[in-house]
Amino acid sequence: MNFRVASDPEYFDKNWNILKHAIREIFKCNDNARHLSFGELHRHAYYMVLHNFGEKLYSKLVATMTSHVKEIAKSVEASEGSSFLEELNTKWNDYYKALEIIRDILMYMDRTYIPSTKNKPVYELGLNLWRENVIYSNQIRNRLSNTLLEFVFKERAGEDVNRELIRNVTKMLIDLGPSVYEQVFETPFLQVLAESYKAESHKYIEFV
């Protein structure tokens, strides 16, 4: 079996390039995964960890994923008006699917290298990167909060809104951790709600 490779000085770079290419393809479009071999990519990742390149592999993965997430953040930031939420949702769905595939490929790293370190497993890493770079981006965070509230109040006012979209986006916030959901949606939502009830109740009091 493959035990001499470790002495090849270019071993890591060669194999990492294969993985990096695959990760980029999967991020570009989930559908590309159909043309990639799980067996091959899993094998490369397995041997890299076996040859003590776990740490290097992980840091390269973080770099690749971070740069990708930053690109997404830019494109979401650039989206205009009402397409903002849709763009965010589409990107999230694609990202999430890609993340699952990447986690599968790197499962040996998750299983054997990660527990001996303080690093986060691939799935968690992916969610953290998304949270820090996309949701908490200056141009996105408040806009997201406001857009969601706007949608909710439109809906309460009887207007026709895309409920599935809101459902998906709030689901994303919950997946990212309860605190994210609270900060970005629940707290501002309850505040505005309280104010609107206050206003309404004032109206009633005045009416009476």
Partner 1 sequence: MVEKFLTVPPFECAWREDLKFQEAGRGCVAFDAFACNDVTLVFRENVGSQGYHYKRDSSPHYTVILGSHRNRRLKIEVNGETVVDVVGVGLCCSNSFQSYWISIYDGFISIGNGKYPFQDVVFQWSDSRPNCNVQYIGLSSWDKHVKYRNVNVLSLKHTLMPLSKHMLFGDYQVEDDVTAADKQLHMDYDKWGLNNFLESWDLSDMLFIVGPEERPVPAHKPILAASGNFPLCSSFAITLPTVSYPLLHALLHYIYTGWTQIPQEQLDSLRALSLQFQVMPLVKQCEEVMERIKVDNKLFDTGKNVELTYPCIGPHCSTLPSLPVSIQRLVQLKLSGQYSDVNIYIESYGFVARVHRIVLSLWSIPFAKMFTNGMSESMSSEVTLRDVPPEAFKAMIDFLYDGQLNEKIIDSGSLLLQLLLLADRFGVAFLHQECCKMLLECLSQDSLCPLLHVVSSIPSCRLLKETLQRRIAMNFDYFISASTDFVLLDDTTFFNIIKHPDLTVTSEEKVLNAILMFGMNANELFAWEVVDQLIINSKPELLFGERLQLVSDLLSFVRFPLLQHSLLDKLQNSHIIRHIPVLQSLVQEAINFAKHGLGRPENENNVRFQHRRSSYRELQYICDGDDHGVLYFAGTSYGEHQWVNPLLAEAKKITITASSPHSRYTDPKVLVSRTYQGTCFAGPRLENGHNCSWWMIDLGQDHQLMCNYYTMRQDGSKAFPRCWNIQGSADGKSWRDLRVHENDRTVCKPGQFASWPVVGPNALLPFRYFRVVLTGPTTDATNPWNFCICYLELYGYFL
Residues binding partner 1 (CB under 8 A): 1-3, 30, 33-43, 46-47, 49-52, 100-101, 104, 107-108, 110-113, 116, 121, 123, 127, 163-164, 166-167, 170-171, 174-175
CB of 137 to partner 1, least distance (A): 21
- In terms of CB distance, is 70 or 163 closer to partner 1? 163
CB of 28 to partner 1, least distance (A): 15
- In terms of CB distance, is 77 or 165 closer to partner 1? 165
- In terms of CB distance, is 29 or 63 closer to partner 1? 29
CB of 74 to partner 1, least distance (A): 25
- DSSP result, the chain: ---SGGG-TTHHHHHHHHHHHHHHHHHH-GGGGGGS-HHHHHHHHHHHHHTT-HHHHHHHHHHHHHHHHHHHHHHHHH--TTHHHHHHHHHHHHHHHHHHHHHHHTHHIIIIIGGGSSPPPHHHHHHHHHIIIIITSHHHHHHHHHHHHHHHHHHHTT----HHHHHHHHHHHHHT-HHHHIIIIIHHHHHHHHHHHHHHHHHHHHH-
- In terms of CB distance, is 116 or 138 closer to partner 1? 116
CB of 72 to partner 1, least distance (A): 19
